[in-house]
Amino acid sequence: MECRYDEAIATPDVLRQVKEAAQEGFDAVIVDCFGDVGVKAAREIAEMPVIGPGESSMLLAAALGQRFSVITVLRNLLPVVYETAEVLGLHRKLASVRYVDIPVLEVMDRERLKKALLREMLEALEKDGAQVLVLGCTGMSGVTSELSQRLRERGYDVPIVDPSGAALKFAEALVKMGLKQSKLTYMKPPEKERTGV
């Protein structure tokens, strides 16, 4: 997912998979994309919690410091991240959104990714006033320990939030507490004939 167009194309499949998960009796669903593709629509059709990594990682970051920055993959996603922060009421805590200029399918080049992330993280800390850092793509998972060490070596002892881990722990907490999305916010869609679904 690298733009809103990708999101629009992927949403029907996300909804199909959420319906299947509900039929199979799953306790929760995590949509594996920082852009939270189809999450709001899925919450309308699901009785179990539906978790978005972007939303959960920003909420966690906001609790860990006064200002946070998100480092995502491409420039196309900056408006998506800013919009999510606005909807969550976190826009004042969002120091910046930066990008590494690496397409999602190329983030598996871990050395290239870590070098670009470190560069943007230092910029976020030194120029933007960030105190917490958020990886803006679930494909970036697995690099936080090494990057945290590199930042500490430069004098920055700050949390780096992995969106996959944040979403998983958020889902676990909701399930253990017996909570799910409010049906006053995410109401069941009206019964009617629909085409294309």
Among residues 161, 157, 146, 83, which one has the least CA distance to residue 114?
A: 146
Query: Are 35 and 125 members of one domain?
Result: no
Query: Are 92 and 129 members of one domain?
Result: yes
Query: Are 68 and 157 members of one domain?
Result: yes
* Owning domain of residue 35: 4-52+166-177
Query: Are 64 and 161 a contacting pair, CB within 8 Å?
Result: yes
68, part of any domain: yes
Query: Are 42 and 15 a contacting pair, CB within 8 Å?
Result: yes
What average pLDDT does range 166-176 have in this prediction?
98
Instruction: Write the single-letter amino acid at 145.
Output: S
Query: Are 103 and 158 members of one domain?
Result: yes
Query: Are 46 and 74 members of one domain?
Result: no
The label of the residue with tokens 């109401």 reads 187
**Distance separating alpha carbons of residues 192 and 122, to the nearest angstrom:** 52
Q: Name the region of 103 (left: φ>0; alpha: ψ -120 to 50; beta: rest).
A: beta
Instruction: Write the single-letter amino acid at 150.
Output: R
**pLDDT category, 146, cuts 50, 70, 90?**
very high
Query: Are 75 and 144 members of one domain?
Result: yes
171, part of any domain: yes
Convert the pLDDT of each residue in 13-37 to its tens digit.
Answer: 999 999 999 999 999 999 999 999 9
| CA 155 centroid distance within chain | 27
Among residues 29, 33, 27, which one has the least CA distance to residue 3?
A: 33
Q: Name the region of 45 (left: φ>0; alpha: ψ -120 to 50; beta: rest).
A: alpha
Kindly state the percentage of the chain with pLDDT values over 90.
97
Query: Are 14 and 68 members of one domain?
Result: no
Q: How many domains does the chain have?
A: 2
pLDDT at 195: 80
Query: Are 79 and 134 members of one domain?
Result: yes
Q: Residue 72 belongs to what H/E stretch?
A: strand 68-72
Query: Are 71 and 145 members of one domain?
Result: yes
Query: Are 99 and 132 members of one domain?
Result: yes
